[in-house]
């Protein structure tokens, strides 16, 4: 339940960071100014004794996030892929949050399998190992099917995980309301919309039936992708709290020493992981949105294997085209076009100056080109980007949150494999190919054909709609009719009718 009682949760968050020593580590990692350091310590210190102690064997930040719960652990997983933002040492510490958290007993896992699937574990599986990986929401067991002898991975949700996430999200809602109230300037970031988006993602991740469906759709989209493979879902042994898939054998993508020992090319892997993500996002509009090292392996043949499909991203075709044009503009260093796309898509208010915005974007992009990633401070770059968005009144686009977050994670994974990688040169061929096929005359013809098919379905109803429009207009209800037409037919139908466009379209189809 959302309400003031969640103040306690937020207080304990700050207190936990102070008690575990994580507060100082985080402030050092982000190079916080002295005033912020002083304010944070003064506010948190009196409540230090209220914080969770956590596991003293863990490093401070990992210890704090683990003690606070699954939503905080998710945040730590993202930071673990960004050594350029939080530093190499802290990033390495946070990687244990990906799949090396304390597991729950194997007996509890077996009990959940039997309850969920209605079968005896010993009858279905000839082997059922202790947990081989434990993350914030679930843990995985290696098992062998009694009937076929196939090795599979059995994913089981943590007991009580739904309630734990509910507590975290409720506290986040309170934090969003506090930000809206105390900092009017921050409302453009739409904190409530961000939390609503996060809540939807989490609710989907807590139902493994949805994850199984996502895995199946993702596999269908990527079946022809070279150098990429996915485990298969065993539908008969999957449900809401249990998911069974074929076992993915390979080297963890985050273990560079093991990758080198296996003879794999890390430079090629770094480029492939970034290009695969861009292909899935732009070409399919459906992408793996949790692509940290804990969810990726390298198969013996060098293929990249992805698993854990609890968080998948979806973007519509229009948004894909906007995103591609922005990326392409940066790649070509055409900052004026990048600025225009932002205005055309409504990302920047129309009362702002497009030329000034283009110059601000140039200040972001120019320092990147011609440099390898070891010379780019992503922390400073992100700070400047935030200043730019604030200056020009850009609001948070909730439909792009998952895409932007995943891009940050994937870039971090790629750079961990090859610190000298230039993301722009690697991204260029993928973006150019998408631009060729999705933007231009051919794309316009395809769009027109799709529109024609939709309009054709309304053919028999058009006379009645026109008659209804005339009647309602005479009754002074034109505004209501306009809204109804927008819902039914989309913008522009009036112009099509008056220009006899409908007749031409129907003739071309029939």
Query: What's the pLDDT at 443?
Result: 62
- 205: its two tokens: 């991740």
How far is residue 140 from each of residues 238, 295, 325, measured CA to CA in Å? 13, 12, 40
Range of the domain at 372: 249-439
Residues 495 and 348 in one domain: no
Same domain, 492 and 359: no
Q: Give the pLDDT of residue 226.
A: 94
More confident residue, 76 or 139: 139
CA nearest 347: which of 287, 410, 302, 396? Answer: 396
The model's pLDDT over 144-171, given as tens digits with 9 standing for 90+, comes to: 999 999 999 999 998 888 887 877 777 7
- Chain center to CA of 44: 31
Rounded Cα distance, 97 and 70, in Å: 10
Q: Is 334 a catalytic residue?
A: no
Q: Which residue has the higher pLDDT, 15 or 506?
A: 15
Query: Same domain, yes or no, for 348 and 411?
Result: yes
Closest CA to 308 of 228, 237, 214, 413: 214
Higher pLDDT, 462 or 212: 212
Q: Which residue has the tokens 């991740």?
A: 205
Q: Do residues 287 and 407 share a domain?
A: yes
- Give the Cα separation of 99 and 133 in Å (integer): 5
Query: Residue 305 phi/psi, 5° resolution?
Result: -110, 130
Taking residues 452-469, report their average pLDDT: 69
- For the ranges 5-9, 196-200, 467-471, the lowest mean pLDDT is seen at 5-9
Lowest mean pLDDT among 236-240, 292-296, 490-494: 490-494
Residue 18 lies in a domain: yes
Q: Look at residue 148 and tell me if it is in a domain.
A: no
Residue 144 lies in a domain: no
For residue range 24-51, what is the model confidence (pLDDT) as tens digits? Answer: 777 776 566 676 667 666 767 777 777 7
Q: Do 264 and 404 belong to one domain?
A: yes
Residues 390-435: pLDDT tens digits? 778 776 665 566 777 788 788 888 988 998 888 778 888 888 888 8
pLDDT for res 16: 86
Least confident stretch, 70-74, 151-155, 408-412, 460-464: 460-464
Structure tokens at 510: 């029939």
Highest mean pLDDT among 210-219, 320-329, 387-396: 210-219
Say which residue, 463 or 337, is predicted with more confidence.
Answer: 337
Position 491 pLDDT exceeds 50: no
**Domain annotation covers residue 409:** yes
Q: What's the average model confidence in pLDDT over 244-260?
A: 93
Minimal CA–CA distance to 158: which of 39, 267, 242? Answer: 242
Do 459 and 382 belong to one domain?
A: no
Alpha-carbon distance of 94 to 77, in angstroms, equals 7
Of 49, 70, 99, the one marking the end of a domain is 99
One domain for residues 392 and 313 = yes
Rounded Cα distance between 134 and 298, Å, is 20
- What gap in Å lies between CA 489 and CA 462, rounded to an integer? 10
Which pLDDT score is estimated for 495? 36
Residue 3 has pLDDT above 60, yes or no: no
Looking at residue 158, the DSSP 8-state letter turns out to be P
More confident: 392 or 510: 392
For 341, half-sphere exposure in the C-beta direction (CA atoms, 13 angstrom radius) is: 19
Highest-confidence segment of 242-246, 375-379, 383-387, 445-449:
242-246
pTM of the predicted protein model: 0.70
Per-residue pLDDT for 504 more than 50?
no
Residue 270: what pLDDT?
94
C-alpha dist (Å) from residue 51 to 9, 44, 66, 77 = 10, 10, 13, 21
Name the average pLDDT for the chain: 78
Pick from 171-180, 229-238, 456-465: least confident: 456-465
**Residue in 84, 168, 225, 290 annotated catalytic:** 290
Q: What is the pLDDT of residue 318?
A: 85
* Residue 331 shares a structural domain with residue 393: yes
pLDDT recorded at residue 455: 65
> 373, 426 in Cβ contact below 8 A?
no
pLDDT of residue 237: 96
**Cα–Cα distance measured from residue 346 to residue 397, given in angstroms and rounded to the nearest whole number:** 10
Does some domain include residue 236?
no
**Phi/psi at 131 (nearest 5 deg)?**
-60, 135
From 99, 114, 133, the end of a domain falls on 99
The answer to the question of residue 221 being in a domain is no
Q: Where is the domain boundary, 99, 130, 149?
A: 99
What total of structural domains would you count in the chain? Answer: 3
Please spell the DSSP secondary structure of 93-122, one letter per residue: HHTHHHHBSPPPPHHHHHHHHHHHH-S-HH
372 and 455 share a domain?
Answer: no
Residues 341 and 253 in one domain: yes
Quick check: 217 pLDDT over 80?
yes
Q: Tell me: do 264 and 279 sit in the same domain.
A: yes
Inside any domain, residue 268: yes
Residues 385 and 476 in one domain: no
Domain membership of residue 185 (yes or no) is no
């Amino acid at each position: 339940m959302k309400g003031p009682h969640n103040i306690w949760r937020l207080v304990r968050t700050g207190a936990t960071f102070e008690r575990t020593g994580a507060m100082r580590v985080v402030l050092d990692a982000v190079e916080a100014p002295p005033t912020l350091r002083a304010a944070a310590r003064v506010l948190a210190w009196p409540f230090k004794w209220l914080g969770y102690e956590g596991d003293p064997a863990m490093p401070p930040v990992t210890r704090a996030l683990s003690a606070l719960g699954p939503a905080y652990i998710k945040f730590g997983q993202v930071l673990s892929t960004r050594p350029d933002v939080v530093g190499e040492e802290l990033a390495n510490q946070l990687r244990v949050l990906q799949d090396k958290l304390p597991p729950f007993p194997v007996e509890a896992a077996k009990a959940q399998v039997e309850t969920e699937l209605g079968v005896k574990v010993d009858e279905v599986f000839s082997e059922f190992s202790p947990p081989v990986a434990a993350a914030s929401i679930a843990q995985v067991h290696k098992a062998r099917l009694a009937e076929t002898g196939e090795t599979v991975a059995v994913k089981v949700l943590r007991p009580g995980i739904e309630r734990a996430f509910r507590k975290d999200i409720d506290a986040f809602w309170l934090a969003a309301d506090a930000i809206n109230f105390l900092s009017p300037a921050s409302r453009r970031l739409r904190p409530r919309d961000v939390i609503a988006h996060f809540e939807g993602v989490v609710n989907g991740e807590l139902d493994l039936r949805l994850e199984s469906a996502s895995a199946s759709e993702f596999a269908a989209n990527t079946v022809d992708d070279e150098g990429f493979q996915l485990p298969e879902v065993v539908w008969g042994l999957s449900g809401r709290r249990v998911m069974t898939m074929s076992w993915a054998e390979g080297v963890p993508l985050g273990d560079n020493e093991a990758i080198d020992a296996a003879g794999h090319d890390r430079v090629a892997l770094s480029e492939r992981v970034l290009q695969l993500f861009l292909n899935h996002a732009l070409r399919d509009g459906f992408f793996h949105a949790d692509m940290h090292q804990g969810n990726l392996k390298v198969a013996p043949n060098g293929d990249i294997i992805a698993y854990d499909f609890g968080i998948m991203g979806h973007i519509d075709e229009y948004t894909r085209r906007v995103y591609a044009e922005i990326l392409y503009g940066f790649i070509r260093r055409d900052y004026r076009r990048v600025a225009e796309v932002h205005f055309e898509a409504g990302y920047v208010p129309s009362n702002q100056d497009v030329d000034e915005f283009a110059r601000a974007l140039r200040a972001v992009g120019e320092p990147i080109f011609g440099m390898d990633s070891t010379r780019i401070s992503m922390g400073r770059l992100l700070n400047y980007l935030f200043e730019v968005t604030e200056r020009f009144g850009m609001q948070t686009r909730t439909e792009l949150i998952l895409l932007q977050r995943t891009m940050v994670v994937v870039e971090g994974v790629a750079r961990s494999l090859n610190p000298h990688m230039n993301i722009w040169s690697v991204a260029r061929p993928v973006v150019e190919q998408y631009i060729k096929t999705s933007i231009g005359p051919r794309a316009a013809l395809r769009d027109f054909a799709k529109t024609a098919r939709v309009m054709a379905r309304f053919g028999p109803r058009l006379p009645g709609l026109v008659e209804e429009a005339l009647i309602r207009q005479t009754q002074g209800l034109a505004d209501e009719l306009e809204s109804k037409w927008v819902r039914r037919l989309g913008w522009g139908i009036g112009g099509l009718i008056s220009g006899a466009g409908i007749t031409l379209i129907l003739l071309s189809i029939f």
